[in-house]
Protein backbone atom coordinates (compact mmCIF):
# COMPACT_ATOMS: atom_id res chain seq x y z
CA UNK A 1 0.00 0.00 0.00
CA UNK A 2 2.79 2.45 0.91
CA UNK A 3 4.44 1.57 -2.36
CA UNK A 4 1.33 2.43 -4.33
CA UNK A 5 1.07 5.75 -2.60
CA UNK A 6 4.72 6.47 -3.41
CA UNK A 7 4.20 5.61 -7.03
CA UNK A 8 1.21 7.90 -7.24
CA UNK A 9 3.14 10.70 -5.61
CA UNK A 10 5.94 10.29 -8.09
CA UNK A 11 3.48 10.34 -10.95
CA UNK A 12 1.82 13.48 -9.64
CA UNK A 13 5.15 15.18 -9.18
CA UNK A 14 6.14 14.23 -12.69
CA UNK A 15 2.88 15.53 -14.02
CA UNK A 16 3.41 18.82 -12.26
CA UNK A 17 6.94 19.05 -13.57
CA UNK A 18 5.68 18.21 -17.02
CA UNK A 19 3.10 21.02 -16.80
CA UNK A 20 5.70 23.47 -15.68
CA UNK A 21 7.93 22.42 -18.55
CA UNK A 22 5.14 22.87 -21.02
CA UNK A 23 4.34 26.28 -19.59
CA UNK A 24 7.95 27.26 -19.80
CA UNK A 25 8.09 26.05 -23.39
CA UNK A 26 5.01 27.98 -24.22
CA UNK A 27 6.41 31.03 -22.52
CA UNK A 28 9.70 30.65 -24.34
CA UNK A 29 7.89 30.23 -27.60
CA UNK A 30 5.79 33.33 -26.90
CA UNK A 31 8.88 35.27 -26.06
CA UNK A 32 10.52 34.13 -29.27
CA UNK A 33 7.46 35.12 -31.27
CA UNK A 34 7.35 38.49 -29.56
CA UNK A 35 11.03 39.02 -30.13
CA UNK A 36 10.61 38.03 -33.76
CA UNK A 37 7.73 40.48 -34.23
CA UNK A 38 9.71 43.19 -32.48
CA UNK A 39 12.65 42.54 -34.73
CA UNK A 40 10.43 42.60 -37.79
CA UNK A 41 8.87 45.87 -36.69
CA UNK A 42 12.30 47.30 -36.09
CA UNK A 43 13.43 46.14 -39.48
CA UNK A 44 10.29 47.58 -41.05
CA UNK A 45 10.85 50.88 -39.28
CA UNK A 46 14.45 50.94 -40.40
CA UNK A 47 13.33 50.17 -43.92
CA UNK A 48 10.71 52.92 -43.81
CA UNK A 49 13.28 55.37 -42.48
CA UNK A 50 15.66 54.40 -45.24
CA UNK A 51 12.92 54.80 -47.83
CA UNK A 52 11.91 58.15 -46.34
CA UNK A 53 15.49 59.35 -46.38
CA UNK A 54 15.92 58.15 -49.95
CA UNK A 55 12.64 59.83 -50.97
CA UNK A 56 13.71 63.04 -49.25
CA UNK A 57 17.07 62.89 -50.98
CA UNK A 58 15.35 62.24 -54.32
CA UNK A 59 13.04 65.22 -53.76
CA UNK A 60 15.93 67.43 -52.76
CA UNK A 61 17.87 66.24 -55.78
CA UNK A 62 14.85 66.93 -58.00
CA UNK A 63 14.36 70.40 -56.50
CA UNK A 64 18.04 71.14 -56.92
CA UNK A 65 17.95 69.92 -60.52
CA UNK A 66 14.90 72.04 -61.30
CA UNK A 67 16.48 75.08 -59.63
CA UNK A 68 19.68 74.54 -61.60
CA UNK A 69 17.69 74.16 -64.79
CA UNK A 70 15.70 77.33 -64.09
CA UNK A 71 18.90 79.20 -63.35
CA UNK A 72 20.47 77.94 -66.56
CA UNK A 73 17.37 78.95 -68.53
CA UNK A 74 17.42 82.36 -66.85
CA UNK A 75 21.10 82.72 -67.66
CA UNK A 76 20.45 81.66 -71.24
CA UNK A 77 17.55 84.11 -71.57
CA UNK A 78 19.49 87.08 -70.21
CA UNK A 79 21.80 87.31 -73.24
CA UNK A 80 18.73 86.99 -75.47
CA UNK A 81 17.02 89.92 -73.72
CA UNK A 82 20.21 91.96 -73.89
CA UNK A 83 20.61 91.06 -77.54
CA UNK A 84 17.01 92.08 -78.27
CA UNK A 85 17.51 95.38 -76.43
CA UNK A 86 20.67 96.05 -78.39
CA UNK A 87 18.92 95.24 -81.65
CA UNK A 88 16.01 97.56 -80.72
CA UNK A 89 18.39 100.39 -79.86
CA UNK A 90 20.28 99.88 -83.11
CA UNK A 91 16.99 99.90 -85.05
CA UNK A 92 15.85 103.11 -83.33
CA UNK A 93 19.19 104.78 -83.98
CA UNK A 94 19.10 103.66 -87.61
CA UNK A 95 15.55 105.01 -88.01
CA UNK A 96 16.56 108.34 -86.47
CA UNK A 97 19.61 108.57 -88.73
CA UNK A 98 17.51 107.80 -91.80
CA UNK A 99 14.94 110.42 -90.78
CA UNK A 100 17.62 113.06 -90.27
CA UNK A 101 19.22 112.24 -93.61
CA UNK A 102 15.87 112.43 -95.39
CA UNK A 103 15.07 115.78 -93.78
CA UNK A 104 18.47 117.20 -94.64
CA UNK A 105 18.14 116.06 -98.23
CA UNK A 106 14.66 117.55 -98.49
CA UNK A 107 15.73 120.87 -96.97
CA UNK A 108 19.01 121.23 -98.82
CA UNK A 109 18.01 119.89 -102.20
CA UNK A 110 18.50 122.43 -104.99
CA UNK A 111 15.40 123.11 -107.05
CA UNK A 112 15.15 120.88 -110.10
CA UNK A 113 14.50 123.93 -112.26
CA UNK A 114 13.79 127.62 -112.04
CA UNK A 115 10.05 128.26 -112.19
CA UNK A 116 8.64 130.93 -114.48
CA UNK A 117 6.91 133.97 -113.03
CA UNK A 118 3.59 132.64 -114.34
CA UNK A 119 4.11 129.30 -112.56
CA UNK A 120 5.06 131.05 -109.34
CA UNK A 121 1.97 133.25 -109.48
CA UNK A 122 -0.29 130.27 -110.16
CA UNK A 123 1.09 128.39 -107.16
CA UNK A 124 0.77 131.38 -104.84
CA UNK A 125 -2.78 132.09 -106.05
CA UNK A 126 -3.82 128.51 -105.30
CA UNK A 127 -2.33 128.64 -101.81
CA UNK A 128 -3.92 132.06 -101.25
CA UNK A 129 -7.36 130.65 -102.05
CA UNK A 130 -6.83 127.92 -99.46
CA UNK A 131 -5.55 130.51 -96.93
CA UNK A 132 -8.64 132.70 -97.33
CA UNK A 133 -10.86 129.88 -96.11
CA UNK A 134 -8.54 129.25 -93.16
CA UNK A 135 -8.56 132.96 -92.27
CA UNK A 136 -12.36 133.11 -92.31
CA UNK A 137 -12.57 130.20 -89.90
CA UNK A 138 -9.82 131.59 -87.65
CA UNK A 139 -11.15 135.16 -87.52
CA UNK A 140 -8.21 136.67 -89.39
CA UNK A 141 -7.52 138.49 -92.62
CA UNK A 142 -5.02 137.49 -95.30
CA UNK A 143 -3.27 139.18 -98.21
CA UNK A 144 -0.12 138.65 -100.25
CA UNK A 145 1.88 141.66 -98.97
CA UNK A 146 4.45 139.51 -97.22
CA UNK A 147 7.55 141.22 -98.67
CA UNK A 148 8.53 144.62 -99.98
CA UNK A 149 11.24 147.26 -99.80
CA UNK A 150 11.98 150.80 -100.86
CA UNK A 151 14.96 152.11 -102.73
CA UNK A 152 17.80 149.62 -102.48
CA UNK A 153 20.94 148.38 -104.17
CA UNK A 154 21.43 145.68 -106.79
CA UNK A 155 22.03 142.72 -104.49
CA UNK A 156 19.66 139.78 -104.07
CA UNK A 157 17.14 139.89 -101.24
CA UNK A 158 17.04 136.88 -98.97
CA UNK A 159 15.76 135.45 -95.67
CA UNK A 160 17.51 133.22 -93.15
CA UNK A 161 15.95 129.95 -91.95
CA UNK A 162 17.03 126.87 -89.96
CA UNK A 163 17.87 125.27 -93.33
CA UNK A 164 19.94 128.10 -94.72
CA UNK A 165 19.43 131.25 -96.77
CA UNK A 166 16.38 131.54 -99.03
CA UNK A 167 16.55 133.75 -102.10
CA UNK A 168 13.49 136.03 -102.13
CA UNK A 169 14.31 138.45 -104.97
CA UNK A 170 16.76 137.52 -107.71
CA UNK A 171 18.87 140.35 -109.06
CA UNK A 172 21.76 138.13 -110.17
CA UNK A 173 23.93 139.20 -107.27
CA UNK A 174 24.88 136.50 -106.40
CA UNK A 175 22.07 134.92 -108.46
CA UNK A 176 19.76 131.89 -108.49
CA UNK A 177 22.47 129.21 -108.41
CA UNK A 178 24.08 130.67 -105.30
CA UNK A 179 21.09 129.53 -103.18
CA UNK A 180 19.85 126.05 -102.39
CA UNK A 181 16.38 127.33 -101.49
CA UNK A 182 14.24 129.90 -103.27
CA UNK A 183 11.00 131.60 -102.30
CA UNK A 184 8.09 131.12 -104.70
CA UNK A 185 6.01 133.77 -102.93
CA UNK A 186 4.14 134.31 -99.70
CA UNK A 187 1.12 135.58 -97.81
CA UNK A 188 0.47 137.31 -94.48
CA UNK A 189 -2.14 136.68 -91.77
CA UNK A 190 -3.23 139.38 -89.28
CA UNK A 191 -6.11 140.66 -87.14
CA UNK A 192 -7.85 143.23 -89.38
CA UNK A 193 -8.93 146.67 -88.21
CA UNK A 194 -11.75 146.51 -90.75
CA UNK A 195 -13.24 143.41 -89.18
CA UNK A 196 -13.38 141.79 -92.61
CA UNK A 197 -12.18 138.22 -92.17
CA UNK A 198 -10.75 136.18 -94.99
CA UNK A 199 -9.52 138.09 -98.05
CA UNK A 200 -8.77 141.70 -97.09
CA UNK A 201 -8.75 142.97 -100.67
CA UNK A 202 -9.88 146.52 -99.96
CA UNK A 203 -6.88 147.39 -97.79
CA UNK A 204 -3.79 148.71 -99.53
CA UNK A 205 -0.30 149.16 -98.16
CA UNK A 206 0.23 152.90 -97.99
CA UNK A 207 4.02 152.65 -97.99
CA UNK A 208 6.86 150.30 -97.23
CA UNK A 209 7.61 152.23 -94.06
CA UNK A 210 4.04 152.18 -92.72
CA UNK A 211 3.70 148.48 -93.46
CA UNK A 212 0.75 146.94 -91.67
CA UNK A 213 -0.04 149.92 -89.43
CA UNK A 214 -3.29 150.72 -91.23
CA UNK A 215 -4.31 147.05 -91.60
CA UNK A 216 -3.88 145.26 -88.28
CA UNK A 217 -5.20 145.87 -84.79
CA UNK A 218 -2.70 147.41 -82.39
CA UNK A 219 -0.70 144.98 -80.29
CA UNK A 220 -1.50 141.95 -82.48
CA UNK A 221 0.97 139.73 -84.34
CA UNK A 222 1.72 139.70 -88.04
CA UNK A 223 2.28 136.18 -89.45
CA UNK A 224 4.32 136.08 -92.67
CA UNK A 225 4.22 132.76 -94.54
CA UNK A 226 7.07 132.26 -97.04
CA UNK A 227 6.50 129.45 -99.58
CA UNK A 228 9.82 127.87 -100.57
CA UNK A 229 10.72 125.56 -103.44
CA UNK A 230 11.97 122.87 -101.03
CA UNK A 231 8.35 122.25 -100.01
CA UNK A 232 8.57 124.02 -96.66
CA UNK A 233 6.40 126.87 -95.36
CA UNK A 234 8.54 129.23 -93.26
CA UNK A 235 6.90 131.65 -90.84
CA UNK A 236 7.97 135.00 -89.37
CA UNK A 237 5.98 136.28 -86.38
CA UNK A 238 6.32 139.79 -84.95
CA UNK A 239 4.07 142.35 -83.29
CA UNK A 240 2.41 144.87 -85.62
CA UNK A 241 4.23 147.91 -84.24
CA UNK A 242 7.62 146.31 -84.99
CA UNK A 243 6.78 144.87 -88.40
CA UNK A 244 7.34 146.32 -91.85
CA UNK A 245 7.20 144.73 -95.29
CA UNK A 246 10.97 144.16 -95.17
CA UNK A 247 10.96 142.60 -91.67
CA UNK A 248 12.71 139.23 -91.76
CA UNK A 249 14.63 140.04 -94.96
CA UNK A 250 18.09 141.27 -95.87
CA UNK A 251 20.07 142.24 -98.95
CA UNK A 252 23.40 141.17 -100.43
CA UNK A 253 25.90 143.75 -101.58
CA UNK A 254 25.85 144.96 -105.17
CA UNK A 255 28.71 142.59 -105.99
CA UNK A 256 26.82 139.61 -104.59
CA UNK A 257 28.75 139.33 -101.34
CA UNK A 258 27.18 139.17 -97.92
CA UNK A 259 27.20 142.65 -96.44
CA UNK A 260 25.87 144.67 -93.53
CA UNK A 261 22.21 144.51 -94.56
CA UNK A 262 21.50 141.13 -93.02
CA UNK A 263 18.03 140.16 -91.73
CA UNK A 264 17.42 141.35 -88.16
CA UNK A 265 15.33 138.24 -87.47
CA UNK A 266 14.84 134.91 -89.18
CA UNK A 267 12.00 132.77 -90.44
CA UNK A 268 11.24 129.50 -88.67
CA UNK A 269 9.57 126.34 -89.97
CA UNK A 270 5.87 127.00 -89.54
CA UNK A 271 4.03 124.88 -87.02
CA UNK A 272 0.92 125.06 -89.22
CA UNK A 273 0.89 121.45 -90.38
CA UNK A 274 -2.15 121.96 -92.61
CA UNK A 275 -0.32 124.73 -94.43
CA UNK A 276 2.76 122.52 -94.85
CA UNK A 277 0.70 119.72 -96.39
CA UNK A 278 -1.23 122.08 -98.70
CA UNK A 279 1.94 123.73 -99.97
CA UNK A 280 3.60 120.39 -100.67
CA UNK A 281 0.51 119.26 -102.56
CA UNK A 282 0.51 122.40 -104.74
CA UNK A 283 4.26 122.39 -105.37
CA UNK A 284 4.27 118.72 -106.39
CA UNK A 285 2.04 119.54 -109.37
CA UNK A 286 4.72 121.80 -110.87
CA UNK A 287 7.85 119.79 -110.18
Rounded average pLDDT over 143-159: 90
Please report the pLDDT score of residue 106 as a whole number: 47
Confidence of residue 7 (pLDDT cuts 50, 70, 90): very low
Choose between 118 and 113: higher pLDDT: 118
Indicate if the pLDDT at residue 69 is higher than 70: no
Confidence of residue 112 (pLDDT cuts 50, 70, 90): low
pTM of the predicted protein model: 0.63
Confidence of residue 209 (pLDDT cuts 50, 70, 90): low
User: What confidence tens digit (pLDDT) does each residue in 15-61 have?
Assistant: 434 444 344 433 444 455 344 444 444 444 444 443 444 444 444 44
Residue ranges covered by each domain of the chain: 1-108, 113-284
Rounded average pLDDT over 133-144: 94
Query: Quick check: 165 and 159 in contact, CB under 8 A?
Result: yes
Rounded average pLDDT over 61-71: 49
Amino acid sequence: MKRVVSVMAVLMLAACNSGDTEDEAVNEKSQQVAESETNEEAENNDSEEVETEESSEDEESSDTSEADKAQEESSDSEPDVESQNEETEETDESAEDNTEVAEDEAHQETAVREFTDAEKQAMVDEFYTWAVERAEVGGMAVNDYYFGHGAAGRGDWYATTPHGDVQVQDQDNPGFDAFNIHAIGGIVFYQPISGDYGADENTEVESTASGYQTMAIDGTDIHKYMLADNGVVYEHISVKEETSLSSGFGEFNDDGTRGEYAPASRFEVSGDQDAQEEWQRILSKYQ
